[in-house]
Structure 1
Amino acid sequence: MHGSTLTSLPNLITIGRILLIPVICWLLATGNLPLRAVALALYAAAAVSDWLDGYLARRLKLGSPLGRMLDPIADKLLIGALLVVLAWNGSFSELDLVPAIAILLREIFVSGLREFLGPRNVVVHVTTLAKWKTMVQLVALGIVILEALVPGWRLASDIALWLAAILTVWTGVQYFAGAWPHLLGDQK
């Protein structure tokens, strides 16, 4: 089955997104505004590829277990790495660190929860709200990157980041609530 291979088009797009992460992070870490603009363009391409790989997998019937594993990993790597770099380079105010840390902690927690539940044959399905959460995170981080390039975006950046954090924490609570019986040892 071609869709299950590493070289299927959707999986190659996902791998491309992963390979862009260190480039985007390095460009942002330089502190150079023209390079930040390049980082923003690459980041926009990476964010669009998150939608594109899934669309192509469904449209071309190339969905695969490998792709279903790689896609959320690519999202979490991109978002997590950017949160760290944007905190490191001063793009976040001290107050912005609160939603940034909340997002990072939730992403790690839910990944660990999935890892814990996997051997118990419990699948933690991605909810529609969690898909929206990822989109809002991607948009929010794009606005944070843009903020240094276009004056006057601070309020939009703050609102988007806090909205992303609220959705992120809320979906984390939903996953935790759904997993609660399994965490207690009840196999209902």
Structure 2
Amino acid sequence: MTWTFPNTLTVLRLLAAPGVAVMFLYFHRPWADWFALALFLGASLTDFLDGYLARAWKQESKFGRMLDPIADKAMVVIALMVIVGYSSMSPWLVLPATVILFREVFVSGLREFLGDTAGTLKVTKLAKWKTTAQMVAIAVLFAQGVFEHYLWSSTAGMDQPMVDAILTGQEEDLHGLRWKLTGMVWSGHAGLWLLWLAAALTLITGIDYFRKSVPYFKD
């Protein structure tokens, strides 16, 4: 294996995957949300950079082609586990997350089964869009967690009638409750829509990979 800069970026992305979860073990919210979001965004950026630099510098390698999808899947799977774990377990969130997790495990199993013929399941452009949609959706959902925590921490010491009066404009909004609520609602809705889009693309590419592998199931 040739240790190139693009391969180094891929390895760093793989190592960053568990780091997203570790942020919530060692830091209190909202710092955990901020650090997880920053780490996830930085790692997602390397997903574009490592492939681009490998092609531009003619440093493409078998190691990079093997490790790149593994790093992507680790990032997505661990981040989704964290988001679902800290959510209210809404079916609107759990269902697309389940579709994504199932597909990623299923396709990984297909590639392992195919062995030397796994090249049949080459990464398509649609699969790359799928990964992009997943990462954008997860980043937006992490942002929702930031808005949500700041909103509830700003209401500390207030009773519900006071909170309602501020949000309806009857009382002065000294703590920015309205813009924090707006940020939480919009990022939550946008994150869910993007996650459902990612789940749809994930399902389509999963079916495509399965269809391509069917001929190899025949004894």
Normalising by the residue count of structure 2, what TM-score does the alignment of the two structures yield? 0.78
Secondary structure of 1:62's match? coil
1:174 equivalent in alignment to 2:208 = yes
**Equivalent runs, 1:29-178 vs 2, <5 Å:** 32-90=29-87, 93-120=90-117, 123-150=120-147, 151-152=184-185, 153-178=187-212
- C-alpha distance in 2 between matches for 1:11 and 1:141: 24
1:25 Cα deviation after fit: 1.3
Q: CA RMSD in A?
A: 1.6
Q: What is the distance in 1 between the residues matched to 2:118 and 2:83?
A: 37
CA distance 1:36–1:170, change in 2 (3 Å): same
In 2, Cα distance between the equivalents of 1:137 and 1:122? 23
Q: Where does the alignment leave 5 or more consecutive residues of structure 2 unmatched?
A: 148-183
- Tell me how far 1:32 sits from its aligned partner: 0.9
Residues 183, 144 of structure 1: alpha-carbon distance in 2 compared, 3 angstrom cutoff: same
Q: Following the alignment from structure 1 to structure 2, what is the Cα–Cα distance between the partners of residues 47 and 107?
A: 17
Number of equivalenced pairs: 181
Deviation at 1:94, TM superposition (A): 2.9
Identity of aligned residues (%): 42
Q: CA deviation at 1:184?
A: 2.8
User: Alpha carbons of 1:122 and 1:102: their partners in 2 closer, same or farther (altered >3 Å)?
Assistant: same
TM-score between both structures, scaled by the size of structure 1: 0.90
Q: Distance in 1 between matches of 2:123 and 2:77?
A: 18
Distance in 2 between residues matched to 1:20 and 1:177, nearest whole Å: 33
Change (3 A) 1:42 1:106: same
Unaligned runs of 5+ in 1: none
d(CA) in 2 for partners of 1:129 and 1:105? 18
Deviation at 1:35, TM superposition (A): 2.2
Give structure 1 regions of 4+ aligned residues with deviation exceeding 3 angstroms: 28-31, 119-122
Query: In the aligned structure 1, how far is the partner of 2:24 from the partner of 2:126?
Result: 29
Which among 4, 8, 20 is matched to residue 12 of structure 1?
Answer: 8
Contact 1:50 1:75 in 2 (8 A): yes
8 Å CA contact 1:99–1:165 kept in 2: the answer is yes
Alpha-carbon distance, 1:95 to partner = 2.4
Alignment equivalent of 1:21, drawn from 17, 21, 36: 17
Partner letter of residue 21 of structure 1? Answer: A
Q: Tell me the CA shift for residue 121 of structure 1.
A: 6.3
Paired with 1:140 and 1:91, the residues of 2 have a C-alpha distance of: 17
Is the radius of gyration larger for structure 1 or structure 2?
2
